[in-house]
Amino acid sequence: MGSLFRASKTLKIRKYLSPLSSINNPFDAFGLSQRYCSHSRQNSKESAPIDLSRYPIEKIRNFSIIAHVDHGKSTLADRLLELTGTIKRGHGQPQYLDKLQVERERGITVKAQTATMFHRHKSRGCDEPSTFLLNLIDTPGHVDFSYEVSRSLAACQGALLVVDAAQGVQAQTVANFYLAFESNLTIIPVINKIDQPTADPDRVKAQLKSMFDLEPSDALLTSAKTGQGLEHVLPAVIERIPPPPGSSGSPLRMLLLDSYYDEYKGVICHVAIVDGALRKGDKISSAATGQAYEILDVGIMHPELTPTGVLLSGQVGYVVTGMRSTKEARIGDTLYHTRTTVEPLPGFKPAKHMVFSGLYPADGSDFEALNHAIERLTCNDASVSITKESSTALGLGFRCGFLGLLHMDVFHQRLEQEYGAHVISTVPTVPYIFEYSDGSKVEVQNPAALPSNPKKRVTACWEPTVIATIIIPSEYVGPVITLCSERRGQQLEYSFIDSQRAFMKYRLPLREIVVDFYNELKSITSGYASFDYEDSEYQQSDLVKLDILLNGQPVDAMATIVYNLKAQRVGRELVDKLKKFIDRQMFEITIQAAIGSKVIARETISAMRKNVLAKCYGGDITRKRKLLEKQKEGKKRMKRVGSVDIPQEAFHQLLKVS
């Protein structure tokens, strides 16, 4: 019976076999063998490793693209990747190097990205064209992420300074130019968006000459959208930008530019090889931590991670070392071969946190979930500082330090989008320094940590300031000067770029610009102003701590430090806002703004009351008075034990006021 079953099964299979196939080769039964072999041959051809030894230092160019926000950096990077065949034309994903969802939604670059391209070019004095290795770094344009730009420029020898042909030189154009200029980079001006109806390349050339002393004849006219003029960009990069310095015969030294966490590979580090060569299996050490690691994978971004097995002097790529946390990968660190002695490379200044804010779970029971989400996110954003704290009003949470207000906003958005976390954020503050009568000084990042009635008298206060650069159309000069004066600004410089645009520099307290200064500036200039700032020194100021009290109890999450002369107005606005957003209770709620023991503003939310006199149809007045007194006693008892819930909307409104 068994043999009959096997025979019938064989006959059924033979029905599906092609005449040339054999039962001994099951793939051939369905004609798969030939297809499988050709597919594997094709894969092996595609995945053939790139031979980086064909690219000595003189055939390598490292450059970045720098510009003001929305001047077309990422679109230009897309076109260059298409021109060199790194990505296919019409890949269906504009701004290819903008990987994050928040970058695509907002149309901004948050994280600097690297891509390696190969381009054939016939150099002057050469008979045959040769292939060059080009490392492109697309950088952010917003002021909050200038730290990313400075790190990117450290791996480059040149930069494309992209300027919008219609908008001209903007504030961040100025800041990024000086970052590149101080790094001694070769700067190639690129005037982009020349296809726009309002484009005026000649005016932009004149601005570049007057502000940066860049020759108008050196500027390249392009349109990244239509592709016009792009054929001149890469030849200019190869001809004008020098090859990277370094010696392939020296001991290995590489600069750690950036790192991020991958769930499968662990920490992936972006590095620039300054001297020597790095191969898979090498043992390396960190100059900052002294830890030793083994190179598990090494390669280039072409444009995704492409293993090459080796990185040579002057090249930019990635390494996987088995690090378990991005805290081990210190940005600006020098990595070198274990058991060799090298001179560490000059690193970067550590990221300076300009804005501090408290983050609390919207539901107190979600603290562990928020903790896990923040840990995961900080694996890919090491520029955020995190410390745990607790608030009597909001429970357990975190004190976070950010590079700026947009950085804070992007961090919140990524928490919600990528990890589904719902958070309450407190009013952003800046770090202050307070000096007491005994000569001791203390830095205060959280206003709640400053005692309202200290035992020691405060003798002096200092607050951080910034040097702000503002470029505006000349007809808006008056309103902008008024705005800066209201924000306690001190004018440092005032000049005209050309007949239509003014250039202004102000020293402003950081606290005055940290919440809504940029929005107001855009509003009064019809959106034409551009704004940039860099941190400056601390200046002495008259500051006080403003407390918000609910039924006499301070709400630590709402405490803030304000300028003394503005305390009355800010206190009045805060209590007015809170009155609108706190729900009525069965007992009376008093909302007060106080400086120390002095109350400077007050609002009262009256209690919801039952009409206890409804059942009295006449009778003696003492009966009614007795019922009202009894109700009054009950309300007092409720007020003693009742608690006031502060809705999330109230915190969002406070963000707009203070």
* DSSP track, 214-230: --GGGPEE-BTTTTBTG
Query: Rounded to whole angstroms, how far apart are CA atoms 271 and 254?
Result: 6
- Helix-strand-coil split of the chain, %, nearest 5: 35, 30, 35
pTM of this structure = 0.72
Alpha helices by DSSP H, listed for 157-296, are 171-182, 201-212, 233-240
For the chain, what is the largest distance between any 2 Cα atoms, rounded to a whole number of angstroms? 117
Check whether 390 is labelled as a binding-site residue: no
Write out the residue limits of the CATH 3.30.70.870 domain(s) in the chain: 355-428
Check whether 270 is labelled as a binding-site residue: no
Check whether 74 is labelled as a binding-site residue: yes
Check whether 327 is labelled as a binding-site residue: no
pLDDT value at position 47? 46
Check whether 23 is labelled as a binding-site residue: no
pLDDT value at position 497? 85
b vs e for 304-319, b when ≥16 Cβ sit within 10 Å of the residue's Cβ?
Answer: eeebbbbbbbbbbbbb
Check whether 564 is labelled as a binding-site residue: no
Check whether 69 is labelled as a binding-site residue: yes
CATH code for residues 433-541? 3.30.70.240
pLDDT value at position 106? 59
Quickly name the fold that domain 57-240 has: Rossmann fold (3.40.50)
Burial class of 270 by CB neighbour count within 10 A (0 to 12, 13 to 18, 19+): buried
Q: Does 253-337 carry CATH code 2.40.30.10?
A: yes
Check whether 639 is labelled as a binding-site residue: no
User: May I ask the CATH class of domain 544-655?
Assistant: alpha beta
Check whether 591 is labelled as a binding-site residue: no
Check whether 222 is labelled as a binding-site residue: no
Query: Rounded to whole angstroms, how far apart are CA atoms 205 and 212?
Result: 10
pLDDT value at position 621? 76
Block means of pLDDT (10 residues each) for the chain, 658 residues, are 44 39 36 36 46 88 86 83 79 56 59 81 75 83 67 84 91 84 91 92 92 90 89 92 87 86 85 90 89 91 87 91 80 87 77 82 84 83 83 82 82 86 83 88 86 77 92 91 93 88 92 83 84 87 90 83 91 88 79 91 82 70 79 66 61 56
Nearest to 518 by CA among 506, 507, 501, 530: 530
Write out the residue limits of the CATH 3.40.50.300 domain(s) in the chain: 57-240
Check whether 652 is labelled as a binding-site residue: no
Write out the residue limits of the CATH 3.30.70.2570 domain(s) in the chain: 544-655
Query: Rounded to whole angstroms, how far apart are CA atoms 452 and 595?
Result: 7
Burial class of 544 by CB neighbour count within 10 A (0 to 12, 13 to 18, 19+): buried
pLDDT value at position 24? 38
Query: Rounded to whole angstroms, how far apart are CA atoms 358 and 394?
Result: 10
Check whether 382 is labelled as a binding-site residue: no
Check whether 188 is labelled as a binding-site residue: no
Query: Rounded to whole angstroms, how far apart are CA atoms 317 and 338?
Result: 20
Write out the residue limits of the CATH 3.30.70.240 domain(s) in the chain: 433-541
b vs e for 576-604, b when ≥16 Cβ sit within 10 Å of the residue's Cβ?
Answer: ebbeeebeebebbbebbbbbeeeebbebe
Check whether 542 is labelled as a binding-site residue: no
CB proximity list for 228: less than 8 A, separation 6 or greater:
194, 195, 221, 222
According to DSSP, the β-strands at 423-425 and 355-361 are antiparallel
Check whether 70 is labelled as a binding-site residue: yes
Quickly name the fold that domain 355-428 has: Alpha-Beta Plaits (3.30.70)
